[in-house]
Structure 1
Amino acid sequence: MTHRLRSRSALAALGATVLLAAPVTVPQAQAQADSARPATATALDWYDTTAETIAAAGATTQVTNSRTWAISWLAAARATRAVPQGVERGPYQEAALAAAVHHALVALAPDRTEQLDAALDDSLAAIPDGTAEDRGVAAGERQAERLLAARQGDGLDPGSVNAPYPVPAAGPGVWQPTPAAYAPATQYGNRLAEPFLLAEPSQYRLGPPPALGSGRYADDLAEVRAYGSADSTVRTAEQTETANFWYGSSLTLYTEPLRVALDRSTQGITGQTALVALFHVAAVDTQIATSDSKYAYGRWRPVTAIRTGDIAPDAEWTPLHNTPAHPDYPSGHTTYSGAAQGILTALAGSRTEPFDLTSPTAPGVTRTYTAWRQLSEENVDARILSGIHTRSADESGLALGETVARHTLRNADRLLGQ
C-alpha cells in the first residue's frame, strides 16, 4: 500500500461547503456612519496591549485566555456600537474602546494593573477632553462590568476546565493516557462550561468517528503511521517543518493573523471591535464544542491505536511530537482553525495581501500567506505529520469550527446589541 498525504482539494471543497451551507448575517449597525479607513491607533494599541497582557499574566488554559479576549473586546464592541446623540462620534468611540478593554483586563489580569493604567492614560491623552471622552469612558466601563458579572462562574477558569476525568477501562478505540508522560486527561471541564452563544455545549456534536473495522479508519491509521512517526522515511523536510510550525498554541499562532485583519479593516471602530470580539467568542464556543465531542466519543490517539490495536501492532512506534492529553476526535487545533477561518472570511474577506507569520515552535521559520484557508490546510496536515491526530479527526474538527463560526455570525446582533 502507498501511504501519501491526501490531496488538499477535498479539504478545500469541505471548507467551501461549510461556508456556503447557510447565510451569514454580519452586524451592520452604524456601519455606514463609521468612516472606511484602516484600524485606528487606539484599536491596534489595545489589541497589542491585550496580547501582551495575556502573554505576561495569562492563564495556563487556552480557553481561559480566549475568554479574556472575548470579554474585553465584546465589552468594547457593545460600548462603541451606539453613540449618544449630540456627542462627537470619534472621541466617544475611542474612549469607550480603551476604557472597556482596560477595565476588563484589570479585573481579569490584576497583576498587570500598572501597565494597563499607563496604557489607558496614553489613550486618553490622545483624545480631546470633554463630554465625548467622559461619556465614552463611562460606557466602556459599564459594559465591561456587565460582561464580567454575566460571565462570573461560567466554568472557564483553569480549575474547572481541567476537571478530573475518570479514565475508562482500556479497550479497542478507547482513549487512554499516552506516552511519554501518561498524563491525566485535560480540558474535560470545557464540555461543562457556559458558552457565549451556543444553546448548549452539545448543540453541534459531531457524528461518531470512523468505525474501527472501516476502510476509512484503516486509511487514517496507515497515513499517520507512515507520515507521523518520529523516524518516518516518507515525511519530507518541508512536511516536518509544517508539523513543527503548527505544534504550538492555536491562540498564539492566530494572534498575528487576526491583527493583520484588524489592521487592514476599513469597517471603522464598530466593525473593528466586532471582528476581534466575534473571533474570540467563536474561539471559546468552539473549544467548548470540541471538548463535548472529544469526551462524548473518547477515541484513542494514534499512538495507542498503533501500539495496541489489531492492525499490525507496533509497540515501539513513536510519534514525531508528544501527544496532548485528551482524545483524538476531533482535533482541537483544526476546530480552532475552522472557527478562525469562518470569522475572518466573513468579516475580512477570503483573501488578503501577503502577510508573514512565525511560530514559537519553529524558530527561524517565516511563512507567507494570502488566504485564511491556507492556515487551515496546513493545520490539518500538521497534526497528521506530528503523529498525534488522524485525518478524520482533523477534517471533522475543521467542519465543527466552521459550523460554530457560522452560528456566531448568525447570532452576532443578539450578542452585540445588549
Structure 2
Amino acid sequence: MFNPRTRYVDTDRTGPETDRTALDRSSTERSSDGVVSSAGEDSSCSSTGEDDPSSRTATDARPSRSRRSVLGALGTAAVVGFAGCTEVLGTGVVPADEPLCLWNERFVEEIQHFRGGNFAPTRRGALLNVAMFDAANGVAAAAGDDHFEPYLVDPTDAPADASVLAAAAGAAHETMTELYGGEFDDDLQATLAAAEGGDVDAGEQWGRTVATVLLEHRDDEYATDIYIPCEEPTQPGCFRRDWNPVHARVEPWAMDSRDQFRSDGPPALESEAYADDWWEVYELGNDADDRPQEHVDVAAFWRGAAGSPRPPNMWNVITQKIVVDESLSVLEECRLFALLSLALADAGIAGSEAKYEYGFWRPRTAIHEADRDGNPETHADGTWAPLSVGGSPEYTSTLAAYGGAGCAVLEGVLGSGEYAFEFGSDIRTGTAGEDEGVVRSHDSLGDALEESIDSRIYLGNHFRSAMVDGREQGERIGEWLLENSLRPVE
C-alpha cells in the first residue's frame, strides 16, 4: 500500500537551478549487469545534460562508437542480404528489397486502428518479430551457418535446406493472421516470391510452426487486476484514477523479474527535488493560450493517442528509417527488430510494475492539492489544466522507458546513435488538428529520445524525475538484453 514514509526514500536527488528547470541526473551509465559506472560520453542515448528543457535544440554531436558487425562475416549461403527500409507506413515498400520492413509496416498500420493502451502494441510487436527471428535463426542453425541463440523454439527440428526469408515470412503471416485476421495473403506471396537460397515451402511451414509455439507461449494479453494504490485514496501523493495494471502483472519476456530494474521512487513530497519537479511542470505544462507552439507540437506528436502508432512503436518506425544505411542480412535484421521488440515489451512491464509499486499522483492532482503536500515551496492552483491528465500512476514514465530501451538496443546493435532522420508524414498523432502531416526532424537517436521526454512535461502529465528515471530504467533493460538474449553462437 502507498506509504510516503517508506517509499519516498530518495532524498539525495539534485534538483534544478533556481529558475525551476530540471537538472538532468543521468550522469552515470550502467553496464549490462546493472552496475553503475562512470558517465558514458559516447552514448547518444544518454541525456544531453542541458539545464533548460524549454529551450532544447538538437542533441550536440558526440563521439560515436565504431560500428560493430554482429557476426562479422555473417553472410553465408543460407542468408540473403538486404539494405534496409526505404519507405515506411505503406508508402510503396517493395517486398523483394525490404521484406522485414513490409511486415513491420503492416503491424504498425494495424496498431493505428487498434483501440486500447500500450500493452497490446508491445506484446504484438514482440510476437511478430521474435517469431520471425526464431524461424529464420532456426534455419541458419540447422544449415550449420552462423546464427544466434534462439529465444524460445529449439532449432533442432528446423529444415536445413529451407529459405531463411520464407521461414520469416511464414512466421509473420501466421502471427499477423492470428492477431488481426486474414488480410495479409498478398504480403505473404510477395515476400515468398523474393525468397532465395533454399526450399520456400519448407521454410514457410517451419515459420508457421515457430509462430504457433510462440503464440501459445505468450497467451497473456488480456490479464486484468484491481488496483488500489493507497489505504486512503485521498491522501497526498496518491494516484486518484482507476487503472487496470495489466502490464504490471504479466511475466517479462526476457528480464529475470518485473522489478529487476525498478527505480528508487519519486522524491519525497516535502523535498526540494519534488518542488523543482512541481514548478517545472507547473510552468511548462499548463494548457495556456500563450504557451509556445513548439511545445504544443512536440506534446501532440509524442502523445500516443488513439490513431497513432503509440509511443513504443515510434521506435519501430525509427528503426525502419535508420536501417536504410546498414547492410544487414535477413537474419541480422530479424534479430535487430526482435531485440527492439523484446526491449520495448519488457520496458513497458518494468515501468508498469513501478507504477503499481509507487502509485504516485499525476501533476494535475498534485497542483490542485498542493496545499496538502507538506511542501512550503508549492501552492494549490485549481485553475491549472494540462493537455492530458494521464491514465496510470505517474512514476515511472513508460514512454521514457520505451525510449531508453529502444535507443540502447539500436545503438548497441548498430554501434552508433548518430543517425539524422525525420519521421511523421502520415503518422497520425491522434490529436485534433494534428492527425496527419506532422514531421519531426532529429540529428540523432538521443535527440529523438530527449524530445520525447520533454513532450510529457509540455503535455503536463509527468514530472521530470519520472522521465529521467524511466529513461535510465529502459537503458538498463536494453543493455542487459543485449548481453543476455539472442547472443551469437560461437
- Shorter-chain TM-score bucket reads 0.7 to 0.9
Instruction: Work out whether 1:299 is the aligned partner of 2:363.
Output: no
- Backbone CA RMSD of aligned residues: 3.0
2:400 pairs with one of 334, 344, 358: 334
Q: Write out per-residue CA displacement over residues 175-211 of structure 1, whole angstroms, 9 at most, x where no aligned residue.
A: 112xxxxxx224x121110111111211111112101
Q: Which residue of 1 aligns with 2:411?
A: 345
TM-score (norm 1): 0.85
1:116 pairs with one of 170, 184, 189: 184
Amino acid at match of 1:61: G
Q: Secondary structure at the match of 1:355?
A: strand
Alpha carbons 2:166, 2:203 under 8 Å: kept:
yes
Deviation at 1:59, TM superposition (A): 5.7
Instruction: Work out whether 1:75 is the aligned partner of 2:131.
Output: yes
Q: 2: distance between equivalents of 1:109 and 1:382?
A: 31
Alpha carbons 2:335, 2:486 under 8 Å: kept:
no
Alpha carbons 2:407, 2:449 under 8 Å: kept:
yes
Q: 1: distance between equivalents of 2:381 and 2:368?
A: 5
Q: Which residue of 1 aligns with 2:383?
A: 316
Q: Which residue of 2 aligns with 1:230?
A: 287
Alignment CA distance shift 1:323-1:31 (3 Å): farther
Instruction: Work out whether 1:258 is the aligned partner of 2:322.
Output: no
Q: Which residue of 2 aligns with 1:175?
A: 239
Which structure's residues are more often helix, by fraction? 1
User: Within 5 Å, which residues of 2 pair with 1:133-212?
Assistant: 133-152=200-219, 154=220, 156-157=221-222, 160=223, 162-166=224-228, 168=230, 169=232, 170-177=234-241, 184-186=242-244, 188-212=245-269
Q: 1: distance between equivalents of 2:359 and 2:127?
A: 31
Q: Secondary structure at the match of 1:368?
A: strand
Identity of paired residues, percent? 26
Alpha carbons 1:243, 1:385 under 8 Å: kept:
yes
Amino acid at match of 1:355: E
Q: Which residue of 2 aligns with 1:105?
A: 176
Q: Say which is worse superposed, 284-293 or 342-351, in terms of deviation.
A: 342-351
Alignment CA distance shift 1:342-1:294 (3 Å): same
Q: Write out per-residue CA displacement over residues 266-313 of structure 1, whole angstroms, 9 at most, x where no aligned residue.
A: 220111011111111111111110111111011111111111123211
Deviation at 1:51, TM superposition (A): 2.3
Q: How many residues align?
A: 393
Q: 1: distance between equivalents of 2:72 and 2:161?
A: 16
Q: Secondary structure at the match of 1:404?
A: helix
Q: Secondary structure at the match of 1:340?
A: helix
Q: 1: distance between equivalents of 2:464 and 2:409?
A: 23
Alignment CA distance shift 1:282-1:313 (3 Å): same
Q: Hey, which bits of structure 1, 4+ residues long, moved more than 6 A?
A: 22-26, 86-91
Task: List gaps (5 residues or longer) in structure 2.
Answer: 1-16, 44-67, 85-96, 146-158, 305-309, 372-377
Q: 1: distance between equivalents of 2:345 and 2:300?
A: 25
Q: Secondary structure at the match of 2:120?
A: helix
Alpha carbons 1:19, 1:402 under 8 Å: kept:
no
Amino acid at match of 1:163: D
Alpha carbons 2:82, 2:98 under 8 Å: kept:
no
Alignment CA distance shift 1:237-1:49 (3 Å): closer
Q: Which residue of 1 aligns with 2:143?
A: 85
Q: 2: distance between equivalents of 1:29 and 1:136?
A: 25
Alignment CA distance shift 1:283-1:90 (3 Å): farther
Q: Write out per-residue CA displacement over residues 226-272 of structure 1, whole angstroms, 9 at most, x where no aligned residue.
A: 11111275x42222222222212203433421211343332201110
Q: Which residue of 2 aligns with 1:180?
A: none
Q: 2: distance between equivalents of 1:17 and 1:85?
A: 39
Task: List gaps (5 residues or longer) in structure 1.
Answer: 178-183
User: Within 5 Å, which residues of 2 pair with 1:262-273?
Assistant: 262-273=323-334
